[in-house]
Structure formats: structure tokens, C-alpha cells
Amino acid sequence: MKTRILILGGTGDSARLIPQLSALPNVETIASLAGRTPKPNIPSVGQVRMGGFGGVEGLVNYLKTEKIDLLIDMSHPFAAQITRNASIAAQEAGIPRLLFCRPAWEQVEGDRWIMAADLDAAAALFPGLADRVFLTIGRQELGAFARVADCWFLMRMITPPDLAELPTGDVLLDQGPFDLVKETKILQDYAIGAIVSKNSGGNAAYAKIIAARTLGIPIVMIPRPLLPESEVVSEISAVVQWVQRQL
Ligand code: NAP
């Protein structure tokens, strides 16, 4: 009998992990993607499913129906809802769960970070901090900035926004990884005075942090949400070792 592993993913990390798990003897992988982006990180091997499960109950049903043996949560560090659901569902289904969380970015010399508890607190900093702002927070929570007066926003996201009320400014559709030369050019071309970023960690979105450091531009940084108590690893190799211990 093969060990069936559900990987909550869609991240580049999950796409890199899955071929390594598939190479283990008697292992079958199923990658689960939220299905929000037009060009998702589809792993090169194993099964793939798309879309929500229908809350905790739906996920428990899925784990039982599909006879899942292990659950690996490699969702985005800010995708707290699916992580909470996974924690409860794995307990209810009685299967082991591992949370992969890539390390958060740390401030280094030259960085001008302003910590904001959440996006509402970040929005309250404008236009005082700057009147031309680069929002790199995705599309779902742009509403927090919609009522900021006397400010212009460059809003980068993967798919177009579907909010009734958008902040004043331009939408830039793009998907990482982003490179330093282009990030620097964006900050200069749009005369950006501040960036708002979630502390996603990882390399794919780090170039803007370096570009801001070089140009002396402040970054309003949103810390990660609280996640349920979990066994956590931050390296792909540690996920593979965890699976090997479970087999
Ligand atoms: P979420 O709030 O944790 O999840 C919302 C719902 O989406 C879940 O309850 C689940 O629906 C479904 N879902 C999420 N991930 C799934 C997966 N891997 N497989 C199946 N269903 C999944 O996550 P989110 O809505 O994706 O994002 C929340 C925050 O994270 C946002 O702030 C977003 O900007 C950020 N994020 C950023 C990136 C990025 O690349 N920068 C990527 C993802 C998320 P059911 O309850 O129906 O199961």
C-alpha cells in the first residue's frame, strides 16, 4: 500500500518538494492548490487538485474519502485560514500534519522598516509617510487603502482586483519571482516614496527589499499572522526527513 500525502501548496516551495517526495518508495502525492492564479506552481509529478474543500468539515471528509495518510501544509505564510483548517482537520481525521514555514525576512543594516500590526494600521500611516506608495500585498485586502486621501498607489497583484472600491492609482499585474533591476526601475519610474509589504519571506519577492534599501525607501512591514501550534520546519530537506520518519 502506498502512503498518500496531501500537500497544501501552490507555493514554489511545494512545487520543489513534491518531486523529492515522489522519488521515495511507495509514496503518492496529491498537491492541493487554492486555484486563484492563472499560472499556478503546478508540480511536475503526482496528482493535483484545485479549489477549496468547503471548510474544516469538507477537508476532514476529503482526508477520509481519499484515504490520506499524511498532511503537509506548505501554503503561503499569510494563508492563515487554510492552515487553521488543516490543523483541526488533521486532528479530527487522526493523521500526522507538518507545517512548512519559510523563514521571515529579517531587517538588516540600511533597511528602513516601519512595523504595522495589520493593513489598517499600515493605511493609517498615509499620506503622512509618503504620497506615492507601492502596495505589494496582493489583491484581497486592498480595501484597507481605499479611503486614504491625497495618496497615489501602485498596486501589484497576480490577477485583476474584484473590489468595488479600489485605492486611487494604477494596477500592475505581475507574478514573482521578481528581479532586482526591474524592482529598482519600478521604484524609480513611479517615484515611489514607500512600500507596503507582508513579511512573506523567501527569495521570490525579496528583490524589492534590496531595492528599497539601496534607494533609502521605507517599507511598512506587516508581520505574519498567528498560526495554530504545529510541528514546524523551514527547509524542504526537513520535510522529506519528516516523511521518511512517518513511512
Ligand atoms: P486562506 O485565507 O488561508 O484560505 C481561504 C480559503 O481558500 C480556505 O479556507 C480554503 O477554502 C481555500 N484554500 C486556500 N489555500 C488552499 C489550498 N492550498 N488548497 C485548497 N483550498 C485552499 O488563503 P488565501 O485566500 O489563499 O490567502 C490569504 C492571504 O495569503 C492573502 O493575504 C493573500 O494575499 C496571501 N497569499 C499570498 C500568496 C502569494 O503568493 N503572495 C499566495 C497565497 C496567499 P475552503 O475553506 O473551502 O477549503
Give the ranges where 124-206 is alpha helix by DSSP (H): 180-189
Rounded to 5 degrees, φ, ψ at 63 are -60, -40
Query: Do 3-103+226-246 and 113-222 show the same overall fold?
Result: yes
55 lines ligand 1 (CB under 6 A): yes
| pLDDT band with cut points at 50, 70 and 90 for residue 33 | very high
> pTM here?
0.93
Q: Which three cell numbers stand for residue 157?
A: 497583484
Best CATH choice for the domain 3-103+226-246 from the list 3.60.15.10, 3.40.50.720, 3.30.1330.10, 3.30.1490.190: 3.40.50.720
All 3 cell numbers of residue 147? Answer: 479611503
Q: What length is written for the chain?
A: 247
CA of 81 to the centre of ligand 1 (A): 7
Nearest 5°: the CA angle 128, 192, 153 is: 70
Give the contacts of 111 (CB within 8 A, at least 6 positions apart): 209, 212, 213, 219
Distance CA 60, CA 222 (A): 31
Q: Could you tell me which residues come within 8 angstroms of residue 110 by beta carbon, excluding any fewer than 6 positions away?
A: 213, 214
pLDDT of residue 10 exceeding 90, the answer is: no
- pLDDT tens string 135-188: 999 999 999 999 999 999 999 999 999 888 999 999 999 999 999 999 999 999
From the CB of 14, is ligand 1 less than 6 Å away? Answer: no
Ligand 1 site, residue 80, Cβ cutoff 6 A: yes
CA 232 to chain CA mean position, Å: 16
Please give the Cα distance from 80 to 71 (Å, whole number). 16
Domain spans, the chain = 3-103+226-246, 113-222
**C-alpha span between 9 and 199 (Å, rounded):** 18
Instruction: Judge if the beta carbon of residue 37 lies within 6 A of ligand 1.
Output: no
pLDDT in tens, 180-233: 999 999 999 999 999 999 999 999 999 999 999 999 999 999 999 999 999 999
Asked whether the beta carbons of 62 and 43 are under 8 A apart, the reply is no
Tell me, what's the pLDDT at 58? 98
Which of 78, 158, 227 to probe ligand 1 with, by most ligand atoms within 8 A of CB? Answer: 78
Identify the pLDDT of residue 39: 82
Query: What is the pLDDT, as a whole number, of residue 163?
Result: 85
Closest residue by Cα to atom 8, ligand 1, is 82
Q: Is 54 in the pocket of ligand 1 (CB under 6 A)?
A: yes
Ligand 1 within 6 A of CB of 78: yes
Give yes or no for residue 178 CB within 6 A of ligand 1. no
Q: Which residues contact 96 (CB under 8 A, 6 or more apart)?
A: 70, 71, 90, 246
Which atom, in ligand 1's list, is nearest to the CA of 75?
A: 18
Q: State whether the beta carbon of 12 lies less than 6 angstroms from ligand 1.
A: no
CATH of domain 113-222: 3.40.50.720
Distance in Å, CA 226 to ligand 1 centroid: 15
For residues 13 and 34, give the distance between their C-alpha atoms in angstroms, rounded to a whole number. Answer: 15
Residue holding cell 509529478? Answer: 45
> Residue 159: CB within 6 Å of ligand 1?
no
Helix (H) or strand (E) holding 214: helix 207-215
Using the mean position of ligand 1's atoms as its centre, give its distance from the Cα of residue 203 in Å: 20
Between CA 220 and CA 229 the distance in angstroms is 27
